[in-house]
Structure 1
Amino acid sequence: MTQQPDPVMVREVAQLCVRARHDPECLYGRLLRENVRDVLECSFPSFCERIEPADLAQMVDRFVAEHPAIRPQFHQVATEFVEFAQARLSLTNSLLCVLEYEWALLAAEIDPARITPPSPGDRFGVAINPVARLVVLPFDATGGDWDRPTRRAHAIYRNAAHEVLTQVLSQQDCHLIELIKAAASITPTALAAQAAASWSPDDVAQWVATNLEFGLLCQVAPE
Structure 2
Amino acid sequence: MSKFNAPLKMHFETELLCKAIRKHSEEDSMNIYGAVIYDNIYDVIMNTFPLFTNTYTDMSIDEIVYLFIRNHHSEDPEYFQIAMEFTKFAQNTDYLPINIVKLIEFELAILNVEINLDVSSKKNTME
- Supply the AA of the counterpart residue of 1:102: E
Instruction: Summarize the Cα distance change of 1:5–1:91 in structure 2 as closer, same or farther, 3 Å threshold.
Output: closer
* Aligned counterpart in structure 2 of residue 55 of structure 1, from 26, 51, 60: 60
Q: Deviations over 1:5-64 (max 9, x none)?
A: 483x55433322210122253111122111111000010111111234952111111111
In terms of fraction of residues, the more helix-rich structure is 2
How many residues are matched? 112
In terms of fraction of residues, the more strand-rich structure is 1
Q: Secondary structure at the match of 1:78?
A: helix
TM-score normalised over the length of structure 2:
0.73
Q: How well do the aligned residues superpose, as a CA RMSD in angstroms?
A: 2.7
Counterpart of 2:73 in structure 1 is 68
Identity %: 29
Counterpart of 1:40 in structure 2 is 45
Q: Aligned partners of 1:108 and 1:46: how far apart in 2?
A: 16
- Supply the AA of the counterpart residue of 2:60: D
Counterpart of 2:3 in structure 1 is none
In 2, are the aligned partners of 1:24 and 1:61 still within 8 Å (CA)? no
Larger RCO (CA under 8 A, 6+ residues apart): 2
Q: Secondary structure at the match of 2:92?
A: helix
In 2, are the aligned partners of 1:36 and 1:60 still within 8 Å (CA)? yes
TM-score normalised over the length of structure 1:
0.44
Mind listing any 5+ residue stretches in structure 1 that lack a counterpart? 116-159, 161-223
